[in-house]
Amino acid sequence: MSDEVAAPEELLEIDYRPPKKGWMEPTVEFKKGTYCYGAPLKHQEYLGLPNPRQWQPPDEDWQLPENWKDIILEGMDELLNKYRSFRLFMDICVRCGACADKCHFFIGSGDPKNMPVLRAELIRSVYRKHFTLPGKLFGKMGGARELTEDVLKEWFYYFYQCTECRRCSVYCPYGIDTCEITMMGRELLNLVGCNIGWIVEPASNCFRTGNHLGVPPHAFKDTLDFAVDEIEELTGIKVEASVNRKGAELLFITPSADYFASPHWYTLMGYMHSADMAKKLNAKMYAEAKRLGVKWILGGECGHMWRVVNQYMDTLNGPADYLEEPVSPITGTKFENSKSTKMVHICEFTADLMYNNKLRLDPSLNDHWRLTFHDSCNTARGMGLIEEPRYIINNVCNNFYEMPENTIKERTFCCGSGAGIGSDENLEMRLRGGLPRANAVKHVQEKHGVNLLTCICAIDRATLPTLLQYWVPGVEVSGLHELVGNALVMKGQKDRTTDMRGTPFEVEES
Partner 1 sequence: MYHFGQVDLFQRNLKLDLSCYVMALTKLLTQHKDAILQRWLNLIADTYPTEASAFLKGKDRFSNPVGYTISQEINALYEELLQGRVDSDKTAASLDNIIRIRAIQDFSPQEAVSFVFLLKKAMLEELGSEIEKEQSFREWLDFEPGIDKLASIAFDKYVECREKICELRVKEVKADKEIAVKLLNLVGGANMEHGEVME
Binding residues for partner 1 restricted to 25-84, rule: CB under 8 A: 31, 33-34, 43
Nearer to partner 1, 260 or 401 (CB): 260
CA–CA dist 61, 59 (Å, integer): 5
The yes or no reply on residue 254 touching partner 1 (CB under 8 A) is no
C-beta of residue 37 within 8 angstroms of C-beta of residue 423: yes
Stretch that binds partner 1, among 4-12, 53-61, 332-340, 469-477 (CB under 8 A): 469-477
Shortest distance in whole angstroms from residue 410 CB to partner 1: 15
DSSP 272-340: TT-HHHHHHHHHHHHHHHHHHT-SEEEE-S-HHHHHHIIIIIHHHH---TTS---B-TTT--B-GGGTT
Nearer to partner 1, 33 or 134 (CB): 33
Whole-angstrom CA distances from 132 to 113, 124, 125, 128, 348 are 23, 10, 10, 5, 47
Shortest distance in whole angstroms from residue 287 CB to partner 1: 22
Shortest distance in whole angstroms from residue 260 CB to partner 1: 6
C-beta of residue 424 within 8 angstroms of C-beta of residue 417: no
Nearer to partner 1, 87 or 443 (CB): 443
Binder of partner 1 out of 39, 47, 90, 115 (CB under 8 A): 115
CA–CA dist 379, 141 (Å, integer): 41
CA–CA dist 260, 209 (Å, integer): 14
The yes or no reply on residue 381 touching partner 1 (CB under 8 A) is no
Whole-angstrom CA distances from 296 to 138, 146, 152, 313, 480 are 56, 50, 44, 14, 23
The yes or no reply on residue 107 touching partner 1 (CB under 8 A) is yes
Binder of partner 1 out of 469, 476, 505, 508 (CB under 8 A): 469
| Residues linked to residue 297 through DSSP beta bridges, in sequence order | 251, 343
The yes or no reply on residue 261 touching partner 1 (CB under 8 A) is yes
Stretch that binds partner 1, among 77-85, 103-111, 228-236, 498-506 (CB under 8 A): 103-111
Binding residues for partner 1 restricted to 297-316, rule: CB under 8 A: none
Shortest distance in whole angstroms from residue 175 CB to partner 1: 20
Q: Report CA 130 to chain centroid distance, whole Å.
A: 32
CA–CA dist 448, 219 (Å, integer): 42
3-state secondary structure of 201: helix
Strand order, beta sheet including 371-374: 371-374, 452-455, 476-479
CA–CA dist 215, 282 (Å, integer): 18
Shortest distance in whole angstroms from residue 215 CB to partner 1: 5
Cis preceding linkage at 319, omega within 30: yes
DSSP 402-467: PPPGGGSGGGPPP-S--TT---GGGHHHHHHHHHHHHHHHHHHHHHH---EEEES-HHHHHHHHHH
The yes or no reply on residue 466 touching partner 1 (CB under 8 A) is yes
Binder of partner 1 out of 214, 293, 318, 363 (CB under 8 A): 214
Nearer to partner 1, 310 or 407 (CB): 407
Exposed/middle/buried for 341, CB within 10 Å: 0-12, 13-18, 19+?
Answer: buried
Binder of partner 1 out of 85, 262, 337, 398 (CB under 8 A): 262
Whole-angstrom CA distances from 135 to 73, 113, 126, 139, 384 are 15, 21, 9, 5, 39
The yes or no reply on residue 157 touching partner 1 (CB under 8 A) is no
Nearer to partner 1, 101 or 387 (CB): 101
Nearer to partner 1, 50 or 214 (CB): 214
Shortest distance in whole angstroms from residue 209 CB to partner 1: 9
Nearer to partner 1, 44 or 310 (CB): 44
The yes or no reply on residue 108 touching partner 1 (CB under 8 A) is yes
Binder of partner 1 out of 84, 218, 246, 491 (CB under 8 A): 218
Nearer to partner 1, 44 or 109 (CB): 109
Instruction: Fill in the per-residue mask, 415 to 434: x = in contact with partner 1 (CB under 8 A), - = not in contact.
Output: ---------x--xx--xx--
Nearer to partner 1, 210 or 326 (CB): 210
CA–CA dist 100, 171 (Å, integer): 10
The yes or no reply on residue 215 touching partner 1 (CB under 8 A) is yes
Nearer to partner 1, 34 or 190 (CB): 34
CA–CA dist 104, 110 (Å, integer): 10
Shortest distance in whole angstroms from residue 453 CB to partner 1: 16
CA–CA dist 53, 49 (Å, integer): 10
C-beta of residue 401 within 8 angstroms of C-beta of residue 371: yes
Stretch that binds partner 1, among 311-319, 374-382, 403-411, 444-452 (CB under 8 A): 403-411
Binding residues for partner 1 restricted to 223-242, rule: CB under 8 A: 223, 226
Whole-angstrom CA distances from 102 to 406, 410, 439 are 11, 12, 14
Q: How many residues belong to the site for partner 1 (CB under 8 A)? A: 56
Q: Under the rule (CB under 8 A), what is the footprint of partner 1?
A: 16-18, 20-21, 23, 31, 33-34, 43, 100-102, 106-112, 115, 118, 201, 204-205, 213-216, 218-219, 222-223, 226, 260-264, 404, 406-407, 424, 427-428, 431-432, 435-436, 439-440, 443, 466, 469-471
